[in-house]
Amino acid sequence: MMTCKSISFLFLIVFVCSSAIDVEGRLYDGQSKGNIKNDGSNADQNNITASSKLNTFIQSASSSGGSSMCDHIRPDELPSECDCREGSERYSLIIECLKPFNSTYFNDTIGMKIDIDPCNKDGSKVSIDVTEKDHNIDYPITGIRAGESKNIPIPGLSMIVPTIGHVGIDAAVLISGNPDQLTLKIGLNACAQLTTHQLCASSIPGISNILPWYVLSGTYSFGDICGSKSKSNNNNDIDAGGSKTNPFKLQAGVVE
Ligand SMILES: *[C@@H]1O[C@H](CO)[C@@H](O)[C@H](O)[C@H]1NC(C)=O
Ligand SMILES: *[C@@H]1O[C@H](CO)[C@@H](O)[C@H](O)[C@H]1NC(C)=O
Ligand SMILES: *[C@@H]1O[C@H](CO)[C@@H](O)[C@H](O)[C@H]1NC(C)=O
């Protein structure tokens, strides 16, 4: 670990020097662009201060030796109510959202914390924590593995919809694939259990415009990071968590 630390330190020194050069460069170049680039979108980085760059760099350097974990989930595609940051565990990332709903049926603000551990050797793993302040709800859902797909009811959180009755708020989770191609669909949904079937938000007039609400919905690649994490590991270990499951079958499992 000593070597690791000293390597990070070396990186830091190199960065501080290069950022000094960068700042100096700006004095001569009014139109200067951010030289340090950790995602494709350089466009809005041209006004970044040296200190925020330093933070970004330290985060990147300590997580993946160059590119930030959050870049892998295309942070610009997140809902505006959400932010991504590096997790405390190496190669993990945390997305936190505070989503206000302002509908006659559902007038509440829901907090959602999504902890993604794509490189876990037992298969990519997601943990979720759903919170609501007024009713003091804090519901953790831990250790959802690749290969799972479900609407998980949040106890105590529901709304009443005319002609239908109680419609419970769910955490909607789909995780499938392997770190190279990890499909994640994570957010909030609402479903009612009718006598014959489950009826979920997208089919409920008056609710379909607000739910389901997805924080993540797409296929993401963490292969480069997970690979560099465990070169000595057999790749089969990483794949073991359910990559062989048919993703279409899983997809069908999410009732919207
Ligand atoms: C950069 O930030 C300064 C001060 O915050 C602001 O006045 C300026 O308009 C910004 N420039 C760009 C290109 O966003
Ligand atoms: C919430 O909805 C009400 C009624 O539709 C509206 O008057 C109010 O401005 C909305 N508030 C927010 C924060 O959107
Ligand atoms: C939601 O609640 C707030 C405060 O309790 C209220 O001001 C607002 O009008 C409500 N929105 C709707 C759509 O009922």
Give yes or no for residue 230 having a pLDDT over 80.
no
**Residue that wins the pLDDT comparison between 11 and 129:** 129
Instruction: Kindly list the protein residues whose Cβ atom lies closer than 6 A to any atom of ligand 1.
Output: 46-47
Closest atom of ligand 3 to CA, residue 107: 1
Q: What is the pLDDT of residues 236-245, one digit of tens each?
A: 333 333 334 4
How close is the Cα of 47 to the center of ligand 1, in Å?
A: 6
Average of per-residue pLDDT across 63-86: 83
**Residue that wins the pLDDT comparison between 9 and 44:** 9
Q: What is the pLDDT of residues 169-210, one digit of tens each?
A: 999 999 999 999 999 999 999 999 888 998 999 999 989 999
What residue's CA is closest to ligand 3, atom 14? 104
Please tell me the predicted confidence (pLDDT) of residue 89: 83
The encoded tokens of residue 147 equal: 């290969």
What residue's CA is closest to ligand 1, atom 8? 47
Give yes or no for residue 235 having a pLDDT over 90.
no
Which ligand has an atom closest to residue 49 CA? 1
Mean pLDDT of the chain, nearest integer: 76
Please tell me the predicted confidence (pLDDT) of residue 8: 61
What residue's CA is closest to ligand 3, atom 9? 102
Domain coordinates of the chain in residue numbers? Answer: 78-239
How close is the Cα of 13 to the center of ligand 1, in Å?
A: 28
Contact 61, 54 (CB under 8 A): no
How close is the Cα of 46 to the center of ligand 1, in Å?
A: 9
Average of per-residue pLDDT across 107-132: 94
